[in-house]
Amino acid sequence: MARIALGGFMHETNCFVPDRTGFDQFAHPADRPGILRGDEILDRLAESGSATAGFLSAIGHNHALEPLLWTGATAGGYVTAEAYERITAELLARLADALPLDGLYLDLHGAMVAENHEDGEGELLTRARAIVGEDTPIVISLDYHANVTERMVETTDAILPYWTYPHVDQQATGARAGAALSRLILEGRARGRALRRLPFLLPLNFQCTLVEPSKGIVEATVAAATGDIVSLAYLAGFPPSDLSECGPAVIAHAHDQASADRAADAIAELITAREAEFAEPMLSPDDAVAEAKRLVAAGTRPVVVADTQDNPGCGGSGDTVEMLAALLRGGAEDAVFGLVADADAAEAAHAAGVGAELDLALGGRTPLEGVEPFQGRFRVEALADGRFVAPGPVAQGREYDVGPSALLSIAGVRVAVSSRRAQVHDRWMFRYLGIDPEDPAIVVLKSTCHFRADYQEMAGAVLVALAPGGYVADPAAHPYRHLRDGVRLSPLGPVYGA
């Protein structure tokens, strides 16, 4: 029986939004359990859809577990130095107290940037390696959108990424991590490592694994992870993170260097050969509304429109309302829009009560270019406390607390308003306010790709709109300061630093 420590520290950092992610965002997030310590990790996560749950199921009762600390916050701006050091210090202190160990598993995101550390995960792993020593294998699971750094590769012995976007395999990923760590405990640390960084950034809208070329790339990577290969990972990257090593990469851990090199080279060459295939059409707000109306008139419904640049899952503020303005300008009827994060509007609606009418300056409070409130007179259609469980394929039973919420209506458009921002992962993000998303003619939601897992099958058509927001879909528009020179800012796109 081996002694295995496990923990987690997850954040996806958008370096181009004005907010900061502080300790309170980790302690009290809207869409995850907060900070778990010790046995709380086993009690709260074992039945969840998380990678940690999958790891626990794979390890089972075969080993002695030392749960450390697990936390995660909704995607947002730089993690404050205070939050980073406070969480890291406690996690590592618990790790030191758990020695001696035969293995360490960490549930990470892979795109965390702190105010004081550009490579958030690399710094954490470097400190963890110093504690456990050179003989103890370290295995990590990562989000598909990770920006993998050299330090992350050198300090670990296996990297297991989500294979899906939308992320419906988090638990399965953790199970693969458990199998990899069990193997390493028996066979010893992986000595061969290979990192191949692709020469272009990949916009998130181009990364969906439901379609080519990402679908085929992932399938080829999975098929090649055999023999001496302990783990073979393709990570698509998270462009809004401003660091030198941002972007897609292929990573191999193996028991010999030649095997690692061959596997990583083969997948990197495949991705490079398919660079020109990465694409997805995107529309202006007004064009998206016009196309949605045309489709509805032709009998196609519901039409789902992704307000992709205000996706809270990419660090968006969740409060931009240009899509609401476009719906009203275009005369759209029987439409629903959400979730709009506006605690003041939700409070006013609760004070007024169902059936009341009130004048509001809705949303638009985040200082971003092109973002301003929407002035209008709204009717309060429904109220809720914002607590619900989302059972969809991405959320997988996750508990949400988005705060006091209201369903408002104006000129045939209903707006789902929450007090705290949250990405629309599945249909329950509307159902908790009494709306069944199958019923409206047009559904406009704040997400980039995750919504597709629950909405794609029910939708008559899916459109992507580029309204102003904190997540800019085109990396060429980001004011990078730390990105390495020579990388293309999109597939076949302009070269950074040219």
Say whether pLDDT at 392 is over 90. Answer: yes
- Both tokens of 290, joined, read 């016009």
DSSP letters, 312-358, are: GGGT--S---HHHHHHHHTT--SEEEEEEE-HHHHHHHHHH-TT-EE
Say whether pLDDT at 314 is over 90. Answer: yes
**Residue 391: inside a domain:** yes
Say whether pLDDT at 409 is over 90. Answer: yes
User: Taking residues 190-204, what's their average pLDDT?
Assistant: 97
Are both 345 and 252 inside the same structural domain? Answer: no
Report the candidate in 159, 152, 128, 143 with the shortest Cα–Cα distance to residue 253: 159
Are both 167 and 21 inside the same structural domain? Answer: yes
Q: Are 128 and 157 in contact (CB under 8 A)?
A: no
**Residue 260: inside a domain:** yes
**Residue 268: inside a domain:** yes
Are both 260 and 325 inside the same structural domain? Answer: no
Are both 192 and 57 inside the same structural domain? Answer: yes
Instruction: Using the structure block, give the residue that is written with the tokens 């990562």.
Output: 142
Instruction: Using the structure block, give the residue that is written with the tokens 């006013």.
Output: 348
**pTM, 2 dp:** 0.96
Q: Are 409 and 381 in contact (CB under 8 A)?
A: yes
Question: For residue 60, what pLDDT is reported?
Answer: 81
Q: How confident is the model at residue 178 (pLDDT cuts 50, 70, 90)?
A: very high
Question: For residue 62, what pLDDT is reported?
Answer: 82
Q: How confident is the model at residue 336 (pLDDT cuts 50, 70, 90)?
A: very high
Say whether pLDDT at 61 is over 90. Answer: no
Phi first, then psi: give them for residue 318, nearest 5 degrees: 75, 10
**Residue 311: inside a domain:** yes
Are both 152 and 230 inside the same structural domain? Answer: yes
Phi first, then psi: give them for residue 458, nearest 5 degrees: -80, -20
**Residue 115: inside a domain:** yes
Say whether pLDDT at 498 is over 90. Answer: no
- When divided into structural domains, the chain yields a total of 2
- Both tokens of 77, joined, read 């701006």
DSSP letters, 231-260, are: EEEEE---TTS-STT-S-EEEEEESSHHHH
Per DSSP, the three-state class of 404 is coil
Residue ending a domain, choose from 223, 249, 277: 277
Mean pLDDT score across all residues of the chain: 97
Are both 251 and 323 inside the same structural domain? Answer: no
Rounded CA-CA distance 310/323 in Å is 10
Question: For residue 14, what pLDDT is reported?
Answer: 98
Are both 162 and 270 inside the same structural domain? Answer: yes
Half-sphere exposure of 496 (CA within 13 A, CB side): 27
Q: Give the rounded percent of residues in the chain with a pLDDT score beyond 90.
A: 99
User: Taking residues 298-307, what's their average pLDDT?
Assistant: 98
**Residue 482: inside a domain:** no
- Both tokens of 359, joined, read 């004048």
The 10s digit of each residue's pLDDT in 103-114 is: 999 999 999 999
Which residues span the domain enclosing 45?
3-277
The 10s digit of each residue's pLDDT in 255-268 is: 999 999 999 999 99
User: How far is the first Cα of the chain from the last one, in angstroms, to the nearest whole number?
Assistant: 55
Q: Are 131 and 99 in contact (CB under 8 A)?
A: yes
Question: For residue 141, what pLDDT is reported?
Answer: 98
The 10s digit of each residue's pLDDT in 272-297 is: 999 999 999 999 999 999 999 999 99
Are both 85 and 122 inside the same structural domain? Answer: yes
Are both 233 and 292 inside the same structural domain? Answer: no
The 10s digit of each residue's pLDDT in 129-170 is: 999 999 999 999 999 999 999 999 999 999 999 999 999 999
Say whether pLDDT at 183 is over 90. Answer: yes
Are both 401 and 438 inside the same structural domain? Answer: yes
Q: How confident is the model at residue 199 (pLDDT cuts 50, 70, 90)?
A: very high
Residue ending a domain, choose from 221, 255, 277: 277
Say whether pLDDT at 248 is over 90. Answer: yes
**Residue 274, burial from CB neighbour count under 10 angstroms (0-12, 13-18, 19+):** middle
Question: For residue 262, what pLDDT is reported?
Answer: 98
Residue ending a domain, choose from 253, 277, 301: 277
Residues in the chain: 498
**Residue 484: inside a domain:** no
**Residue 354: inside a domain:** yes
Are both 97 and 219 inside the same structural domain? Answer: yes
Are both 337 and 468 inside the same structural domain? Answer: yes
Question: For residue 176, what pLDDT is reported?
Answer: 98
- Both tokens of 366, joined, read 């985040």
User: Taking residues 122-128, what's their average pLDDT?
Assistant: 98
Q: Are 172 and 164 in contact (CB under 8 A)?
A: no
